Amino acid sequence: MARALEGKACEACAIAKRRCEKQTPQCRRCKSRGIECTYPPTKPSLFCPYEGENTFSIDQDVSTFDPLLFTTPLDLGKEADTELPLGLDLSLVNSITSAQLQPDYTWFTSSKAWKVEPPPESTDDALSIMDIRYHIQIIHRWLKQWVDKGSNPFIHTRLYRIRFPQCIQDVYMALSCYFAKTDSNELMVFRIIEDRARRLVEDSVTGSLLGTPLDTHDHLARVQALAMYQAICLYDGDIRLRHLAEGYIPVLASWIREMVDHGSRASGLGRMVMSSPYDEHTAIESDGANLLWYCWILAESIRRTSMLATSIQSFYLIQRDGTTSCFGSMMFTSRKGTWDIDSALAWEKMCSEVNVGFIQLTEAPSLLTTVAPEDVDEFAQAMLAIICGARRVNMWINR
């Protein structure tokens, strides 16, 4: 039987110099890593593939498999499928075996990983005025940390290294002025913050009316920018800023929902962080390890930002109205060090060797009894303080 002409490998596999199994619309390698799969145009062919009974397809949704990231190296003997159909090309069998040897990292791109659960119920002594002030102080400290060091527990050091949206540049300059303000220039600084926040919202409305598309990175940037403005305007004490921020509460709530929805459906998350749409020469080498790591950076940033931004507004509404409605809780990575690793290989090694603590926020209180405090990162500790109360969490940390 004549053999059909094979198409070219997808761009991601070609760049990484890995074997491409050429499934459509996504090859197995790209689908398992949650990255964009694009094929180069092919020449017209006089041959057609034979679609008989023994046609073999490995275009499976690997996100439905149980994640193996919290275990020791994979037990391949138990996972291998021995019932392969007759007539399967031996080279294809070898590529399948090679793919099975790779760790399963679909844990942060599966539908379960994006599921929004009802917000956790706080304990009786949580969410007191002191707890709210404690949490807002932490957020303000994180904002200053970002200004001073370029990263914090919800803005990854690599998130804006290549793509640096204008709205993030604006909020960075506004925060720099805010943390350096004096009694003499305070009103001027407040005017800068007010104008930058208004411009962010107005530009978004204009873009929506014009049909300007936003990718997931854009969605995250505008949510982070407005959340940081809200953290200042709602809690600084200036009446004018507070009035302005109250009008943006429904805007930020809507943006959070849009961000999570877009992120859960988008492909090629890693490429959005690794390259700039304005300067192709600044792109990072898109090998498999880098793509996977940057995909996790964007996904984890979305989850952390959604919970942080929600808490900023919810705490204010609790103080003002005595009650509030929350967006909900999501899964996030709680293991100390995972967020701070600064290389794809080190991140991949850590994920394959230790439990990185990818848990739902509603399950986070179990960390107090099952994990040592030195193994829980700063963001997770802050979320625990919201649910369990700052006093209990500090006792756990200092025990």
**Is the distance from CB of 381 to CB of 342 less than 8 angstroms?**
no
How much is the average pLDDT of 175-199? 98
Q: 99 pLDDT exceeds 90?
A: no
Q: 6 pLDDT exceeds 50?
A: no
pLDDT of residue 366: 94
Which residues touch 34 (CB under 8 Å, ≥6 apart)?
A: 106, 108, 109, 267, 269, 270, 292, 295, 299
Q: 280 pLDDT exceeds 70?
A: no
Note the Cα 295 to chain centre separation in Å: 8
pLDDT of residue 95: 39
Least confident of 107-121, 132-146, 229-243: 107-121
Higher pLDDT, 3 or 216: 216
Look at residues 32, 106, 103, 105 and name the one whose alpha carbon lies nearest to residue 74. 103
Least confident of 182-186, 279-283, 336-340: 279-283
Note the Cα 2 to chain centre separation in Å: 47
Per DSSP, the residues of 127-149 read S-HHHHHHHHHHHHHHHHHHHHH
Note the Cα 260 to chain centre separation in Å: 9
Given pLDDT bands bounded at 50, 70 and 90, which one contains residue 134? very high
CB neighbourhood size of 167 (10 A): 22
pTM above 0.85, yes or no: no
Look at residues 160, 163, 167 and name the one whose alpha carbon lies nearest to residue 280. 163
**Is the distance from CB of 200 to CB of 225 less than 8 angstroms?**
yes
Amino acid present at 221:
A
* Token digits of residue 318: 């609790």
How much is the average pLDDT of 302-320? 95
pLDDT of residue 222: 98
How much is the average pLDDT of 208-219? 91
- CB crowding 351-374: b at 16 or more within 10 Å, else e: bbeeebbbbbbbebbebbeebebe
Higher pLDDT, 249 or 84: 249
* Token digits of residue 17: 């110099």
Per DSSP, the residues of 311-368 read HHHHHHHHHHHS------B-EEE-BTTTTT--SHHHHHHHHHHS---EEEGGGGGGHH
How much is the average pLDDT of 133-149? 97
pLDDT of residue 367: 95
The DSSP secondary-structure symbol of 63 reads: G
Higher pLDDT, 283 or 258: 258
How much is the average pLDDT of 120-133? 71
Look at residues 171, 309, 165, 331 and name the one whose alpha carbon lies nearest to residue 250. 309
pLDDT of residue 169: 98
Kindly report the length of the chain. 399
Note the Cα 342 to chain centre separation in Å: 16
Report the SS3 class of residue 275. coil
Higher pLDDT, 201 or 65: 201
The top-scoring range by mean pLDDT among 91-105, 273-287, 342-356 is: 342-356
- What tens digit of pLDDT does each residue of 22-75 get? 777 777 777 666 677 777 764 443 333 333 333 333 344 433 334 434 343 333
Domains in the chain: ranges and CATH: 8-49 (4.10.240.10), 115-397 (no CATH)
Mean pLDDT of the chain: 80
Q: Is the peptide bond before 85 cis (omega within 30 degrees of 0)?
A: no
Given pLDDT bands bounded at 50, 70 and 90, which one contains residue 186? very high
Q: 279 pLDDT exceeds 70?
A: no
344, burial (CB in 10 Å: exposed 0-12, middle 13-18, buried 19+): buried
How much is the average pLDDT of 116-135? 76
Least confident of 115-119, 145-149, 178-182: 115-119
Higher pLDDT, 348 or 327: 348
**Is the distance from CB of 375 to CB of 355 less than 8 angstroms?**
no
Least confident of 18-32, 129-143, 236-250, 304-318: 18-32
Q: In the chain, pLDDT over 70 holds for what percent of residues?
A: 74
Look at residues 118, 108, 114 and name the one whose alpha carbon lies nearest to residue 357. 108
